[in-house]
Structure formats: C-alpha cells, structure tokens
Structure 1
C-alpha cells in the first residue's frame, strides 16, 4: 500500500477509535442516571417495607403499610424517573430559570417574580390540614433520600451533565413542601380562563371600534350546543337539581366575554418555549351503567394541554396493603411529578375526571400610578413594593422592583401586551390563585373518597384551577360538580380591563358559595358531557361564571355519538375509545357549502372537488382534510390579519367558527374587505376564492400537484420537544432530547383535539395529554395512555415508548388489582427502612 494511503488509513483508524470512545462515554453518561428498579434499597425515613412493581411501560405501583411510607416512596420514585423535570419546574415557578439557563430566561423570571407564585405557595403551606402537611413532608423526604444517594450530576440526569459543561445547573437544593405546592400555581396559570381574551379585546380596540371588536366574541350558541347542566337552579342559597326556574323561549343570548395577552414564551407550562395556548381544553364524559355492557358506569377523560417531553403526567398506583383509617389509599391514575397523590384516576370504589371549567377568575385593572402611590377613590395610596434578586448564570445578579396595588401586582412592565390606555399608566392583575387555597387538601381527599358525598366534600376544597369534575362509582351513581374560587364582581362582567381608581369594579370579599355552584347526580338522560362548553344557561343560573366559554362543538359531537351508541347499545370501553378518537370537523358543514357556491376556475377546482364527497373526518391519510384545513387557515388570515394587531389575530378554533358563521351571512361586512388594497372593496366571495386558490398553491408546493395524494398527516405533525434543553437552539443538544415528528389525526375542535395555530403552520400545539377510560364494573379493566412515557431520562426505554401508540389511538391496561399488577411486573424493587 502506498504510504499516503497507509497514513490515511491510520488517521481514519484513530478517528474511528476516538468516535467509539466518545460514543462509549456518552452511553455511559446517559445510562449512569437510569434508576435502579430491581433488587432492594435502604430508604431512610421508612417505617416499614415498601414494594414497587413496574410493568414493561415503566409504570410503578407502590405498596406500603402506612400512608406516610406510601407518599415517601412516591417522592423517591418520582425523583428516580423525573427529578430534572421537577427541578426545572420549581425553578420556573420560583422565577429562577436564569440560574440554569442564563439571560435567555430573564424576562420569564421577571414575570413570575412579579406575580409571586412561590410567595403564595409559601403562605399556603402553613394553612393546609395537618395531615396534608405530613404527607407533603413525607414526599419531600423521599425525594431528598434519592438526592442524597445521587450526589453527582451524572448520577441525576443527562441534562445536569450538559448544564455542567455550560457552567450552569449547580447542586440542586433539598426538596420542600413549597416546591410541590408551587407547581399547582403553574397549572392554574395554564388553565387561567380568559385573561388572553381580555388583552386581545383591548389590543383589537386599538385598531377597531368597540362594536366590531364585539363581533369577534359572539355569544354562546345555547340553541345549538347544550351546556353541561340542563336542570336545576339556585334556591334559597343552594343549587337544587330539581328546581326549575322560569325560562323565556327563544331569546338573544348575552354577548360573550373578553380578555388580555401573552407572557414570555417559556411560560407555556406544558411545553415551555411555545407560548401558544390555542387548543388548551379537555373532554370528559360519564355514562350510566344502564347503557353499558358491564351494567356499571363508564367514565372517559382526556385533558388537552401543550405537548412536552416528558409528558406533564406520570402514571402510578398508590396502594395501602390493608385499607384502614390510618392508611386509606388504593388509587391508580395520573400524577404530577413533584406533587404527592393522584390528580385524575380511580380508587377501588370511584373514578373521576377533570376538564377546565374556565370561569373568569382574573381581571385586569387599569391604574393611575404617580411615583410610589396610586389613585383609589380620590385618594393616593402607597404602592406595595418589594425587591427581587434574580441570579443569572454567567452574568450579574439582576434586581427587580415589584410594585402592587390593592388589585394585585403591576404587570405591564413584565408582560408587554398588557398595555395601559386612556387615563391609566399601569395595569394590575387580580387573580384568585394569588390568594392561598386548599387545593392540595382536595387531592388527598379525592384519593380516599368512597362515595358521592365524600367526593363532593373533597371537591369543595378544590379552589384553583377551577375544574369540571365528573364522577362515577361502583354503586352505579354518576355525577358532576363545579368547584372553585370564583369571584363575585360589584360591577362589570370581567370581559374588558376596568379602571381601578374608581372602586366600582371591586370583587366581593367572598366568592360564589360552593353550595351554589352547579351540581348534578344521575341525570335523566343517563350521561354527562363536559368539553369546556358552557356549564349552565344564564337564564337558569344567575351568578356569573364567565362569558368566555369554548363554543360547544366538541361537547355536542360527543353527545351525538353517545346518543347513537345508546341506540345501538350496549356501550363498552371500545365504544368510549372510538369516541375519544373521533376526528369530525364540526364547522365543515357550514363552510363547505359556502365554498361550493363560489365561482372558481383553474387548478383550484380540482382541489375543491375533494370536498364534494368528504365525510368531514380528519384522518392522517385524508386529502380533503388537508385541503379544508388549508382553506380554513387562509380564510382566517385573509379576513382578519389586515384588521387586527399581530397579538390579537386568530389562532383558529371554535370561537372563530362562530365569527365566520355569522360573517358568511353578511357578504358585504367590512371584515371581508382587505384594507391593504385601497382601490378595491373585497366581499365574502372574493376572500373565499382567494383562500381556496392560496390553499391549493400552498399544498401543491409542499405536497405535490397530485391533490388526491395529499395527506393531512403530512401537514399535521407532532414534534415532541423537551421542556427545557429541547429549545436550547443548539442542534446536537436538541437532538439528544427531542423526538418525532409523528403524523396525528384530528384538529383543534374535533373530539380528538389536536390543536394548531393558523398563524404559524399546521404543526400541533395542543394535544390530549393523556387518555383514560374507567370501567366501574371492573376497575381492573380500565384503560389509559400517556403522551410520552414514564421516564424523564433521554434514551431510556420508557422515555417516549407510549407516544406512537398514543398517536394511533391505542390504550394500555390500567391495572389496579394486586394480582394483575404483580403478574404484569417486569421489575420489582423492595425499599426497606
């Protein structure tokens, strides 16, 4: 071999060896943090032996003889699989992300320090029940036992090793009960009702007169889409399911509500870095055993949140070996890593699910600030002020001065879209979650509830975020309860920012009493559906919950499918799963006929012809779904983007269904006119024609000219992005932690609610973050699926092993009986004192 070739071969050999060494180091570093799941471990603080069984999906079932041991072990297991996620969350809720990531997250930290989530949690913990505080302490001991056993960055998680290379991360502090409670504030913010609408209304008002802004917030269509509760009224200070108020016949409904803007992007708690809340919602329904194969109720739930990796949920079973007053827990369901107990799930006697009730629990007050004072009822009052020190990795500590009025913290300096107007020069946020509450007490009460009355008593403790709670039990009862701390206003309806200096828009000292909140048990039609639709007709119920509901397209579709299933009967878990996977577009029957009536020429005609035989389903292989959604995107952007500031433009979804439905009947409405074409006044048909042509051109460019070969799944894709380093901007780092994309069926207001933002692309921004179907005839036959997997460790077998099954609409066994848990176990770990 000539010497140049010999030399080249030697260099190549050396390089290959280096690559193999580096690969070996990476594999070692990655696997070093994987948890021990077999054998035995000593765990300081335990009083007895604990057994942890994991199935092939890595889902743990924990068995203990005392409640304290149970929650201590839960803390240990959460830390094994998800400690970095937990640590990231506590840094976020405390406004300390910059300690990890430097100046890139400084704006987010400023916003969170201003609102003071952690400060509220610090005040909340001492007010909790003594039993709850004991469980929080036990959970923290479990987390800290894991931390003590894993002192090095490489022992804890791959993320810490990378942060260490970048000079960040440091040594995590011990876990505390405040860390657990603060995370619930983040979830409350993610589900905070209409603050964005309030901001958007105010922003739109800078470009349009008020009557045209109000066109964009039409009233809830009670005549077409039923609310959740269709019986009962408040009588003598209590909600009475049997009471019937005097109802008027056909009536014009109250106008819908309004709200405020966006925090920095990293505040999307489900998926930091997206900041897009379009599509956040949920479905749940419960059906009486009268209509089921097992003769007992079935309950379904799929909360819609921003996607993230790992998923916001963590599946687990928490089981006292012998149920006693001292150890009353036998519960399986979805947990939050960092928080003890089960959030949604089933016990040995009941099952429950959540959807966002969405009451108006936050108001924006416009303030007149002068120096260190603000105006209130003709007097100048001192602002409350405090200094916040924000440490920045790789930079100097930043000092933030937080100021507040009686209405809450001034947010306009940290949330740019919250702009004062008129006589005001500042904006304050009043929000129920900034007052200490008892939601953590509610979690433990729900986890041991054995019947409807105990469930209702537990729900009474659930203040924020206010949720629709559906219920079923093994005796056959089904029910619904609206809980939450919902303010009563002296004036106004919470839809627009209001002047704070007049004192006319104050909240009453007490919220709506729990006994007055809507509640139903065993309704006459045998099922209950909640999908963020209106809770109850305002003619039936006078306390104002909100005017900004989801508009009922999902809920009405679920009701229709349930009624069809009842006729065919009986209903089983397979029927419930098929309803969860329904992809029907509820607005197509309105828009498609209008599109067909428009004069159209050229190649766009062939694309429009796809809609002639379309079944309105949005499967991944559907060409008509791809074209219809592209047309819908262009209809919205062509109609509204020229009229509205960027932050108030449509993202899509069922509010815009109602807006466009009305505009289709007004072909000369000013919204159809493109104000950028000064010489032309466009009408409805001009915009629809342009939308179809633009959609055809876009898809031809992206998917090819053969319209029949287009696939919705080639546009509508899910990228699973790691909640922290997955948005680092460093390609190799992102490749370590992110997964996908996956083609996914559905759409924003289909039952299979995979949301997307028309302003950006067809990429998925909100998902059914988990799915559960509880079978009360045999709780061991219940089914579930998580978005990603149990593990938070990149490259672990359970990091995202449920994702492809989730995308296909499959469910896994939700085992809860000890014999089936042990039979399915592939790992067994024994913890000893």
Structure 2
C-alpha cells in the first residue's frame, strides 16, 4: 500500500506537489526533444534490457528472450513455470505502468494512484466487486495447474519490480513520486485473474439497450420503441450457424438436426415492457443516473454502448490457394496507446509433460498465456457473442430490507474503504439483494423515485423507495483462466471444445482451424435462462425487471451441450462478426434479442461466396484485402433516394452531385464518403435524435429535455425550471442514434413508408417542419452541406472523409487527463482514416457525437494453417509502453495503411528474424 504524506500543511503541499508534477513532467518530456542529458537519461532509464544476461530468481534453467525488429518477444524455456516466470518479467519490462493501472482499476483502487477524482469510479467498481470475485475464483474454481502458472507469472513480474523503482519502471512513476509517495505493491495471481472481469464488463451484452428502452418509454409508445429495435433480418443476413437443433431429451445441440422449439421471450413485440407497474414512473430517473455512472467506468476494451464488435472468419482448404485453412481475426476495440494487445510467443524447447506450450499470438499485459493465436496444431480467434448475460432489476427497498415475493429480506452488506492518494479515505457500504449488488447506491444525482421520498443520502441510511440492482454472470466465480491455458495447448477439435467449455465469461464466438485441414465454431459461455414473467410481460432481458417478483428471476443456465457449434460445414467457411449465432425463432433457448444486425458479417459472407463461385481460390492476400473492405451498406441503400430529390439550391446541388456514380466505398480521400456520412448523421438527428431522450448538464446535474425540441422547458433533478442556455452542451450518447447497423434496419423499413410519422419534424412559423421522407432527406442534405462547409471549407474539391474521420491514439492516464503539453507528447496522431461504422474495416464513429474514430480493428491477424511461418499480424501501436521507445508506435503507420507484418513461428524463422537476444539465468 502506498504511503501518503500528511500534516497541517497538507493542502498547500498537495497544490505545490501537483504544480511540480506538471512542471517536471513537461521538462522531462519536452526536454527530451532538445537533447537535454538529464531528460534523456530519465526517460531511457525505464527502457528494458534486451541483450546480455540477467539473473532471474526462481528459474530452474536458462531462458532465452528473442526479439525481432519490432521488439516482439519470443520466449524459449524448458519448463512451463520458467516460461511463465519469464513472460511476467518481460511484460513488466515493456508494460508495467499499464499493468499497474489496470489492476488498480479492477480492484477499485484508482484513487490511490490518481487522487480523489477517481473516488466515485472506485466506489462503483467496489460495489461490483470484481476483485472480490476474482479472489473467490482463484481460491475455489481454478485448477492447480492454472494456479501454478499464475504464481510463476507473478514471480517473474515481482523479480523485475525488485530491481526497478520510480523512473526505472516508467517515467509516469517519476511524476507520481512528486505528488505523493507511491511504491507499487507486489504482483499477485489475483491481479491477473481480475483482468478477465474488466474484459467481461466491456463485453457484457445489452445493458445499455435495457436502459435506453426504459428511458424511451417515458416519451414513446411501445410500438415506437419496437420500431427502433427491429427484428433480426434472418432472411437477408445469415446467422453464424445456418441450421441445427437441440435434442430435448439430451439437451445437446446437433448442427444437422431439425430445429425445435421457440426461444423464450422471442417475438415479444410491443408487449415486451417489464412488469414494473406503477413503479415505472421512478425507473427513468434511476436509470438515467445509472447510465451516467456506467460512463465513468473506464472502458478498456471499447466505448460504452452499442456498435462495437469484431470480425473473424475461417475458410476451409478446399477453397484456399494453399489447400489448408486460412483464419482471420480483427477485434474492434477502443484505440489507445499502448495498444491493449501484446504480441508474444511462448515456446518450450521440447514439448513434453513438464513443458506443454508452443504457442504465439496476442495476449494482455498482466496475463500469462496467449488469448488469441495459434500453436503448431490449431489456431483460434474471438468475436463477441453478445449474449444477454446481465439484467437490471428495480428493487423495492427500505433502509435495511428489500421486497421479494411479499417478504422483506435483509440486505447482505459489506464495508469498503477507499484510500486516496492525499491520505484521506472514504468508507462505503455495499448492499446486495438476491439479484445482485445495488448499483444505484453509487450515484449522487438520483432524484425522486416512484412515489417515495428522495434517496440522495449515502447508503445504507436511505429511506424507503426504489433502487436498481444488477445480476451479471461475471459476478459469480468461473473458470475462464483455465480455458485460456486449455486453448493454448489444444491439439485437435475435441481438446479445443473441452477448453472452450471452461470459457464461461465473457461469452465469445470461438472459431477454429487445424493443420489437418478442419475448421469449426463453438459458442461457449454461461448464459442465463430466465423465468416466464407475469404472463403479460415476458422475462426476456429487454427491459429492467421487477426484482420483487420471482417470476423474473434466473432459473439456471443454458446447458453447455446445447450451445451452437459447427464442424466442417459443407459450405466450407464460417463467418462471425457479431451477427445472430443461430435463428433465434427456432432455437429453444433465448440467447439475446440484441444481436448486431449483420451488415459486416453479410459483407464478408458475400465476398467469400463471390470469390469461391465457380471454383475460385482464396489466398492470404485476399484475406488481408477483405479485412480492409470499407463499403457502406447504408450508403448503398440510402443514396438512390437522395439522388431522386429535386434540389433547387445550387450550393446543395453541388454536394449532391458528389454521390452520382459513387461506388459506396469509404476511402480516406473520398469526398462522396464525407458528404454521405454527414447526410446520414443529420438524417438520424432530424428523424430520431430530436425525439429521443437527451441529457444535458448544469453544474454536474443531469437535466431532462422536455419536449423534443430545444426550445422546450427543462427541469433539473429537483424539479426546478432551467433554460436551454443554462444547460450548456448536452451529452450525445443516451438513447441517441449512433448510426450502427441497427439504424440501417430502422431506416430500411421506413424508406418504404414516405409519410411515416418518424419523417415528420417540429417546425416554426418561419420554418415549417418536414412532413415526409423526401422533405426530411432534403433537409439533411442542406444541413450536411452547411456542416461540411464549416468543417472542411466551401470548395468541395478539398473535401475528404479522412479529414473528418480522424484517429488519435491516447495514453490512457496522463494522455487523457494530464496537462495539454503532456498529452501532446504522450499521444500520437491524428491519422486520416478510411473505413467506417459497420464496415468490415470498422473504424467506428458515433453519429450522435461526431466523426472521430472511437473504435478500431485493434489488431489484425491471418493464420496460414498450411505454413504457420507464412502467417501475418499487426498491432495498433507497438510492443513498448514507454513513450519514447522505438517500439512505442512502430507498427501504427503500417496498421493505418492496412499492412501486415510477417509472423515467424518456427525456431528457424524466429532465429532468422531475431534482432536482440536476452539470456535469463537462474
């Protein structure tokens, strides 16, 4: 635990220290550019030794660390423990600051590093109890083998920490030391396990959709809400698994069997609201505040809300130029520097009972093993399955009890003490019901709930009222860490599926290929089975449910044997890109009602089908080119309607002509892509955004806009009137259209109904509102022309999509909240990007907030099962987390250009690619 400075002049000291931090870090970082010796030596002090020899306590034999020209390490050892001990040491060399921040986040201890500004975030994370669950997982669930590997990894990290302090670890620690005394604690196995909880949180499914639908219910009819959440287009965008059924007797899934049954809760339609009754009047305030709380939790994998996804696909050897499978994967995650991923190889010199690993791929700094990659026999990739594994419950509460089936039950409570860098602390009480922890206790902006008294006071001394609890699969101990080591050592389809069965959270799509020529897919995960509801409102997870009614509780989990899978399908390929796993209308278990809508997956399916038609063969180059496909489905759908509009204004007509003969591609230098995406954004704003709930902030308080137009009256949480001017800028995320492929489906249906009410807007005496589809689209074209003129200039010949659609890589601590000069030095970019939302080359942006890139293909890989040494890979940034190290961003330019690096795997090829060799000795 870090020591803290205290004393009568603590406040003044703290201000001086913070000023010193800014001054010294600026000196450290900017001075480097001018060749200042002290600055250079300080920055370089943390650079890792990559040649020579280092003694590493605990090793049973010598270990070699071979790094290629991009600093990517390949480790060679003679025992499993030595392999993971060395992995911990090497990752600490490159990325310990990142590791330390992550473990403080997962433990709810960010305040110890960064001060009181993180107290609320810590309080919410303590309420969820990630670290507590990870400890239970380590103590009660994980195998002895996994614990042995985790312990060895921790010993390697701690061996590095023993000899490195302060700026020798990272320049960021030099800054921390000037504001308060901080010494990193030893690494523990639970620090590694807890990272899986952060991973699961960012991939938790439809929690935001639950909140959004509930917030919409205060302004829209049930049918209007259903308009905005259309059914999955099974007839157009094929699911991952094309057919199959579950045997009701054995509860086993057979990909060749006839489909049976109807999914629980499927097709609930406009009647899908929760059975909250009169309590629903209070749920909007609760959930609005909860939504803001969720946004404060660091999203390490991707932005909160919908839209984020990943691509993976595998093609059988019968359709490839090599005659063996090709497997591609590119997870779409938050852009950051250093990249979330860490490339690495782990090799036993001789694979045996005491040394089981010969694997390479992508892992996370702070976790042993490889998460995505291949060994000599099999390759695998991940995309998010998107199963609904979390439910929000509205609870009827008193200060000490909650209602359950007409009985008042006592909360389970625990105390948590949050220590702050300035020496202060805050104690919170976590209250838990049978459904899960009360997450609404952690928000100080809660207003009046239901018909009860205000609940602003800190728990547990609140009066009677309502609260929101969370049921989530990741809050129960699991075995996902066992699964990772099982995947690393899998030799065939049978051992791969056995490992996948242990991967309980987060629920992922797993694709597979092996050197023998087989391909496969497995849907693993702990996915809940819900009760029947009250007869009028199904318990389908689409809305928050009444926590006091046991008919809405979870009754178990989908049997692992019943989860969909495929092995060597006759079509010869498998595509997973967050689309529906299987036709939910006939599959007997409810997985989710909130899939991605299949724009990316169907584009990949179509392009593979076009290529293999009449015997065409797919090469590694073809796989790489497909990863860069930037075609826009919504542009192909909407552009013909835009071109039919008779535009009178020559200024707007000039922009409209850009869309003529456009091929719907979104290259960085494309002017048509820039104009179309601006039209799409303004179409969403006019048709939907001004009719959906919005949030604005005044002095930290959320305000509700009522009615839709900005001229309407406003209220703060106490019911006080506020003007639009007082409210300032509104947030751009709550229930607002993000422009993803769900909105493609919404608009696809409405385009066929030109007089639908969604096309109608509120106007004024001078400017009457739009009354039809074509009027609104014409309005959007005018607004887009004006917007791009302001952003890109009057001359359309100078417009380009990339100038609007830019990527900046930010250091996730000082790079986001430090002084501007520090951010300038630590961060990189911008890059003008092609691609777009719901394109295969998914450089995502949120139409409610602007055009900046907010998620990316965080890495790209293509595995060649015919010759592993002919595989290719790339990372978003580089191997190093040290800001001025040569490998800080040495892969980024190649990544931005769509290039891939050679991926050496065999001993011979690794040796040939090696630039530096470090010997670790006992």
TM over 0.5: yes
TM class, shorter-chain normalised? Answer: over 0.9
Counterpart residue number, 1:4 = none
Asked whether the 8 Å contact 1:618–1:712 carries over to 2, the reply is yes
Measured at CA, do residues 599 and 254 of structure 1 come closer, stay the same or move farther in structure 2, by a change above 3 Å? farther
Counterpart residue number, 1:295 = 323
Asked whether the 8 Å contact 2:320–2:617 carries over to 1, the reply is yes
* Distance in 2 (alpha carbons) for counterparts of 1:47 and 1:395: 42
* Distance in 2 (alpha carbons) for counterparts of 1:123 and 1:247: 37
SS at match of 2:790: helix
Say whether residues 1:826 and 2:921 are aligned partners. Answer: no
Deviations 1:535-566 (A, max 9, x none): 00023311110010000000000001111221
Measured at CA, do residues 557 and 316 of structure 1 come closer, stay the same or move farther in structure 2, by a change above 3 Å? same
Counterpart residue number, 1:817 = 906
* Distance in 1 (alpha carbons) for counterparts of 2:234 and 2:662: 28
Shift of 1:420: 9.1
Deviations 1:331-389 (A, max 9, x none): 00000110100000000000000000010000011100011100100110001111111
Asked whether the 8 Å contact 1:334–1:344 carries over to 2, the reply is yes
Asked whether the 8 Å contact 1:553–1:749 carries over to 2, the reply is yes
* Distance in 1 (alpha carbons) for counterparts of 2:639 and 2:396: 50
Deviations 1:666-697 (A, max 9, x none): 33333223346486463322221111111111
Counterpart residue number, 1:148 = 162
Counterpart residue number, 2:336 = 308
| Count of aligned positions | 809
* Distance in 2 (alpha carbons) for counterparts of 1:572 and 1:500: 54
Asked whether the 8 Å contact 1:67–1:326 carries over to 2, the reply is yes
* Distance in 2 (alpha carbons) for counterparts of 1:370 and 1:324: 60
* Distance in 2 (alpha carbons) for counterparts of 1:401 and 1:448: 43
* Distance in 2 (alpha carbons) for counterparts of 1:421 and 1:488: 29
Say whether residues 1:615 and 2:663 are aligned partners. Answer: yes
Counterpart residue number, 1:201 = 213
* Distance in 2 (alpha carbons) for counterparts of 1:418 and 1:319: 53
Measured at CA, do residues 416 and 588 of structure 1 come closer, stay the same or move farther in structure 2, by a change above 3 Å? farther
* Distance in 2 (alpha carbons) for counterparts of 1:616 and 1:253: 34
Say whether residues 1:215 and 2:227 are aligned partners. Answer: yes
* Distance in 2 (alpha carbons) for counterparts of 1:430 and 1:667: 42
- Counterpart of 1:459 (choices 500, 506, 511) is 500
Counterpart residue number, 1:637 = 685
Counterpart residue number, 1:764 = 853
Say whether residues 1:359 and 2:400 are aligned partners. Answer: no
Counterpart residue number, 2:484 = 443
Moved more, 123-132 or 233-242: 233-242
* Distance in 2 (alpha carbons) for counterparts of 1:635 and 1:715: 17
Shift of 1:525: 0.4
Asked whether the 8 Å contact 2:208–2:306 carries over to 1, the reply is no
Shift of 1:253: 6.2
- Report matched runs for 1:241-640 at 5 Å: 241-245=255-259, 255=269, 261-270=291-300, 275-394=303-422, 396-414=424-442, 422=450, 425-491=466-532, 492-508=539-555, 510-567=556-613, 569-602=616-649, 603-640=651-688
Say whether residues 1:773 and 2:867 are aligned partners. Answer: no
- Counterpart of 1:89 (choices 90, 94, 102) is 102
Moved more, 803-812 or 642-651: 642-651
Moved more, 639-648 or 467-476: 639-648
Moved more, 277-286 or 34-43: 277-286
Shift of 1:644: 1.2
Shift of 1:407: 0.4
* Distance in 2 (alpha carbons) for counterparts of 1:711 and 1:18: 36
Moved more, 291-300 or 24-33: 24-33
SS at match of 1:442: helix
* Distance in 2 (alpha carbons) for counterparts of 1:385 and 1:792: 40
Structure 1: gaps spanning 5 or more residues: 1-16
Counterpart residue number, 1:790 = 879
Shift of 1:278: 4.4
* Distance in 2 (alpha carbons) for counterparts of 1:621 and 1:688: 25
Measured at CA, do residues 642 and 677 of structure 1 come closer, stay the same or move farther in structure 2, by a change above 3 Å? farther
Deviations 1:492-541 (A, max 9, x none): 11000010101111111x31111000010000100000000000002331
SS at match of 2:82: helix
Measured at CA, do residues 708 and 247 of structure 1 come closer, stay the same or move farther in structure 2, by a change above 3 Å? farther
Asked whether the 8 Å contact 2:260–2:588 carries over to 1, the reply is no
SS at match of 1:630: helix
SS at match of 1:755: coil
Asked whether the 8 Å contact 1:418–1:427 carries over to 2, the reply is no
* Distance in 1 (alpha carbons) for counterparts of 2:311 and 2:661: 29
Measured at CA, do residues 91 and 488 of structure 1 come closer, stay the same or move farther in structure 2, by a change above 3 Å? same
Counterpart residue number, 2:117 = 104
Asked whether the 8 Å contact 1:299–1:774 carries over to 2, the reply is yes
* Distance in 2 (alpha carbons) for counterparts of 1:73 and 1:550: 40
RMSD: 2.1
Asked whether the 8 Å contact 2:53–2:920 carries over to 1, the reply is yes
Counterpart residue number, 1:131 = 145
* Distance in 2 (alpha carbons) for counterparts of 1:157 and 1:269: 23
* Distance in 2 (alpha carbons) for counterparts of 1:26 and 1:258: 61
* Distance in 2 (alpha carbons) for counterparts of 1:762 and 1:496: 30
Shift of 1:313: 0.4
Counterpart residue number, 1:659 = 746
Deviations 1:753-782 (A, max 9, x none): 110111222100011111110000001111
Asked whether the 8 Å contact 1:204–1:644 carries over to 2, the reply is yes
Measured at CA, do residues 419 and 341 of structure 1 come closer, stay the same or move farther in structure 2, by a change above 3 Å? farther
SS at match of 2:596: coil
Compute the TM-score of the two structures, normalised by the length of structure 1: 0.94
